Structure 1
Amino acid sequence: WSVTYSSSQICTIKGSTVDLKCNYTHPDTVGDTVIEVRKLIWYTKGDNYAPVDLKDDQDYAGRIKYKHGCTVAIRDVRESDSAVYKFRFITNHQNGKYTGSPGVTLSVSAVELQVIKWERKQSGTRAEMTCKSKCLSDLHPYIWVKNGQDVLTQTSSSFSYMFSDADRISCAAAGHRNFPSPSVCQFVFSIPDMPNLPSVSSSSGHIVKGDPINLTCSSDANPAATYTWYKKDTSGPLSKGSQLVFKSIQSSDSGEYYCKAQNVLRIKASKVVFIDVKYPPSFPIVSHSFSGEVVEGDSVTLACSADANPAATYTWYK
């Protein structure tokens, strides 16, 4: 019984369709039983005992298509889809259930247009802009588009343009023309906006040790904000970028987190988000109140303890 993935890590553009691919094998027979596959599942929530099939997950409603073999397509991917995905197959044999680990780590990144600087002129506003995506190299070419349809140029990630009143400029990565950045127009240069109070959202509600967890920070700002993540009572920033990713969260990661959004005008901090990582009891330890011999009639106390969250309940046996 085995599962192998075509790629252990995939990074793709927000809005596109991504295929998660794998291969699986099982014996043709076990004893007198002819092995037949009964069910194929891709999941990112739950575990081997209670996986949530992607096609039954409301967060993916209408966006999942199982293809030939064990390939699944996720349409219109979102940044919240960034997670670890696993494939599981179930056969007619009582022990014929198998999950491929560690799975496929999917990262989703939007194409972002940032205005570096601008200058007012009599004929309009000249702006220097840059386009980027975390999933693409700095050398990847980009397409710059006016008013949603007129291709101005196919060039590097940097572009300079003289805006008139009616112009709206957006960019898209070459090969991903249908998934452009939000557009900018001359109006935004006249009213620069400091970042709004950033908000933090989580990719998961009930957090269990070992789960992949993403925290996302967002704030409306012009020029676009950059983001930095912090943990309270920890010196220095944790990371930069709109997402804070835990590939396999641990109990030591419990704590209060917040992000800061910054542009040329101001820095603003989000409200604090508390992460409480749940985990099962550790191996219990029994301690006692006596030393040496115990004599009939003595008072004796035995204590059982185990690290757990939520706190464990205890049962004694002889």
Structure 2
Amino acid sequence: MTGSCVTVPCSFDVEDKYEQYLNNQCTAIWRSTTTGDVAQLTDRNPQTGDLTKKNCTTTFSNMQTGPTKDYYFRIDCNNPLLWSYSSTYVKIEVTDNFPSPTLTPSTLKIKEGESVSLTCSAPAPCLPHPPTLIWTPKLGDIQETLQENQDKTKFKTSVMNFTASHLYNKQNISCTAGYKKQDGSSDAALTTSLIPDVLYSPKNVTVSVSPSGSVVENSNVTLTCNSDANPAEQNYTWYRADGGQETVIGTGKIFKMKVKTDTKMFFCKAVNEIGKQPSNITHIDVLYSPKNVTVSVSPSGSILENSNVTLTCNSDANPAEQNYSWYRADGGQETVFGTGKILNITVSMNRKSFFCKAENDVGEQHSSITHIDVLYSPKNVTVSVSPSGSVVENSNVTLTCSSDANPAEQNYTWYEVKAAQEIVTGTGNTLNTTVSTDRDIFFCKAQNDVGEERSNLSHIDVLFPARILFSSKCMKTSNQVSCFCDTAGNPSPTTHWNLHGKPITQPSQMVITHDSLNNSYLRSIITIVEPQDRDLSTLQCFSYNSLGSASKGFCVRCLDNSKENESQILTPVLIGSTVTFLLIICALLVVVWFQKTHYKPKSVAATSGQHEAKEQTKADNSQPSTGTDLSCNNPEKMSKSSADKSEDVVYARLKWRENTKVKEEDIYVNLELSDGSCLNEKKCENGGEHSVSKKEEIESMRAEDKIKNIRKESEVVYAQVKFQTKTPESQ
């Protein structure tokens, strides 16, 4: 190389006889085959080896371009040893086109992962300054050696060992030999390179989406599978990765599809003859309106009425929800009552069903209705009656207690209302009972774990036949008589008056009026002017409705006898009371004697009268009274009976006893009677008056008692007629 040095390897031999002449005085001379005996290259500062050792290797410096010549070696020892070795010569060529280093192998095709050994060789013409060998890039370990050719010339080798990688595929690998120059010019650098063909499976597999960015649900997108592989990919497979599962959805480098909320995660797999490689999962930003909107309640489970709860609206949406609205769904209507993701409210029996609506830029969605299990005591407690409507007295009815409660009612209690008192009459959801005029008001009480509530009073419309009440009577003034016929019945009764068996049609001296106390109770009043001019012994009141009828005779003439008897009785009573009082004060013995001789028989009679009254009460349950005839149409017989017994009826006492469910108490009704009273056990049979049994009288009395608010729980035990001894008249 021009400007560089060159080393000519050389050795020689001499005959044995000249061996003795080899000494340090020997010199090496190089001559050209064309120039004869003229020494050559003496200006190139030749450096020759140790001639005494027959080493004639010579280095010439700063070689310059010139004709190529053949040179031979001559030894001159300035003694008999002088010899030219012209038969052996070396050709020295100085050139600027020095050969580049040699790479072995010159081409490289290998699979990724296999071991590779590259050797770079470059001639070393100048032994003092051999070339430097540099690998670009340096891929592995490097080992350098200086080697000798068969012609004794030198060359330098560099071996680089590495493992093939896809990164080196098609990458230029070069070896550069650097030569040092001695003419002051730049060092020479000669490079040899190769491009390896590294076979490898797909690398850097990626998915590109068009259009890029966010995509609205149900839009079409184009997916492209990109990768680096050698040889190029032969197959592409597309997978959906939603829900943690891999599902094949298509093939090919390009795949078109419609995205949804559950179809937004994809990857592709590239395959060639070396291997395969999947891409990473590509998440498409799918924009969609809120979905799976739900309501959560805290605390969960059953909630007591009027407790506070926290409602939270949860949903899945992209972009995230911007607005939340809360609705109440009770009663089949939707009412907005709040906003925000979280809402605190107080629940009640009519505030327990809710839903929320979530909204974003894409759309909106509402949750299903959430029903909170609100616990509350019974409400809207009602009583239903079967059969409904009006019910005939003594019929059986079924009462049903209905209510709204949570938890459902556990206990039902039935109450019967009598005389403003509430009496427990049964339990259970239904009650079978018999109704009557004094058993027609009921209510129930429903109870659960939270509390209790009672229904309103249920009034059963009890139908009963017409009755004439015990309060019916006549009153007389100086010039007229007024008779009152009090009747009860349901349906409302109709009344009319009969005289001598014929209806009274209101002549000029008789006036009939009607007063209605309510739908079931009626008072008919007949007013008779100048009664002394008429025979009223057959005056009767008739009351009837669709279920039955009743009649009652009125003895107007008895009113006169009563007044006379009252005047006759008044004086003896006062006298008898005075005498009795004085006798008690004067002497106890007189009193005892008086009681034995006068009062004891009368007590027996009174007792007998009581017994007869009791027996008569029992008998009256089946037939009219047959006791002593106190008819006002037979005053003489009445007077005689009174005189025989020396006693008057002072009062009739009715004793009532409550049902066993309440405390017994006696209720007394004192009725003032006289010898001619119309309230006898057998009413004025003479004169055509209708006979009325005591049983009917008692039923009338009970109906009258209902008007007077006498306890409905009471029942007749006995009727007692008490007689008081009449004081003998003064003689």
Task: Specify which structure has the higher proportion of helix.
Answer: 2
**Higher relative contact order (CA closer than 8 Å, sequence separation 6+):** 1
TM-score range, shorter chain: 0.3 to 0.5
Larger Rg: 2
TM-score (norm 2): 0.15
